[in-house]
Amino acid sequence: MIDLDDPKVYRELDPADMRERIRELPRQCLKAWQQALEFELPPGHANINKVVILGMEGSAIGGDLLGSLVAAECNSLISVIRDYNLPAYVDGNTFIIASSYSGMTEETLSSFTRALSTPAGKMVMTTGGKLKALAEENAIPVFTIDYVAQPRAALAYSFIPLLGICQRLGLLSSKTGEVKEMAQVLENLQNTVNDTCPTTQNPAKQLAARLYDHLAIIYGAGILSPVAQRWKTQINENSKAWAFYEVFPELNHNAVVGYEFPAELAQTAFVVLLRSQHLHPRTLIRYDVIADVLSRSGVNHETLDGSGESALSQMMSLILFGDWVSYYLALLYETDPSPVKVIDYLKKRLSEA
């Protein structure tokens, strides 16, 4: 197996330096937060009761994280639309945020074009492309992302500005203190999970080794449901590996029954349970019970707890941990974590059609 403590491995298998993008996450968050606080919002947003985020893949996960994080505080409906169409409930009390890192995502372009004919408030988050041009043609504010990376490595710019914008819209209380705490928690976590920390002391490298040649299944709940999804997509795109995710308490009503067959899968699967002290007490009991059921079923598993005090810190610390795990798993599979050739091929075929 690849030696994750060998510096040569990183030079050879990571020419685009994805590890540096992961290292930058705490600084990305602080910069994105400040830019969101300084961003000039469109006028006329006093009566917003719905926030609709248009996006796909890495540009949409920020909306999922936002909705999950503020569900108990925000009285406005927050929804993420991953489609060509726009929901019928969009009206003058809706604020639409079209998020596409490249500005070329066809589903987002389609739904945003439909949004132009609605009375909803609108803004765009992108690096450029057709989406930025379309917004500028229609005098719609553009939050320009000035960070060059794979879209999935720019998570701070698809999530943190949404938090700031909702605060600016008056939908949330001030999150400045939570953002600062979260950035410090991430900086502290980096010391134990980044590539310079040896495997014997690095829990992310150790988990990646246990996931090697296994089917990764990620469990989350509540605020960690989109975090489990993020783990799944990072393992797909960085590690080029199969992965799935499930959420509590729903998985207790179906997935647990499926541990029995096929029997061979029990030896292949590895379940990672993402846990937070901010989850419902009854849900936390379910974690313990499911860990016992998995052990009885002969399924490898591990439980990871979020770091920090706030829900935001716990979410983002588990995201950072998962990003490193997916990165190390890519190296163990001896594959470059940056390119996504199959997605590029799919987009090419769609453009030809």
104-151 confidence digits (pLDDT tens): 999 999 999 999 999 999 999 999 999 999 999 999 999 999 999 999
pLDDT for 164 equals 97
DSSP letter string over 41-64? Answer: PPS--TT--EEEEE--HHHHHHHH
* Catalytic residue chosen out of the listed positions 237, 240, 278, 301: 237
- Distance, in Å, from the CA atom of 336 to the CA atom of 201, rounded to the nearest integer, reads 24
Q: Band of the pLDDT at 44, cuts 50, 70, 90?
A: confident
**Stretch 247-255: mean pLDDT, rounded?**
97
| Domains by residue range for the chain, with CATH | 7-13+193-332 (3.40.50.10490), 18-174 (3.40.50.10490)
* Catalytic residue chosen out of the listed positions 253, 264, 341, 352: 253
Q: Is 347 a catalytic residue?
A: yes
- Flag whether pLDDT at 168 surpasses 80: yes
b (16+ CB within 10 A) / e for 318-337: bbbbbbbbbbbbbbbbebbb
Q: Where are the alpha helices (DSSP H) in the chain?
A: 7-13, 18-23, 25-38, 57-70, 106-115, 129-137, 155-168, 176-193, 203-211, 225-237, 265-268, 281-296, 311-332, 341-352
pLDDT for 46 equals 79
Helix axes 225-237, 311-332, angle to 10 degrees: 20
Q: Amino acid identity of 90?
A: V
**Stretch 313-342: mean pLDDT, rounded?**
96
Task: Tell me which residue of 25, 38, 56 sits closest to 157, measured CA to CA.
Answer: 25
Instruction: Look at residue 67 and give its three-state secondary structure.
Output: helix
pLDDT for 314 equals 98
Q: Is 187 a catalytic residue?
A: no
Residues 6+ apart with CB under 8 A from 173: 73, 167
142 close to 126: Cβ distance less than 8 angstroms: yes
pTM of the model: 0.96
- Distance, in Å, from the CA atom of 99 to the CA atom of 63, rounded to the nearest integer, reads 9
- Flag whether pLDDT at 352 surpasses 90: no
Q: Is 278 a catalytic residue?
A: no
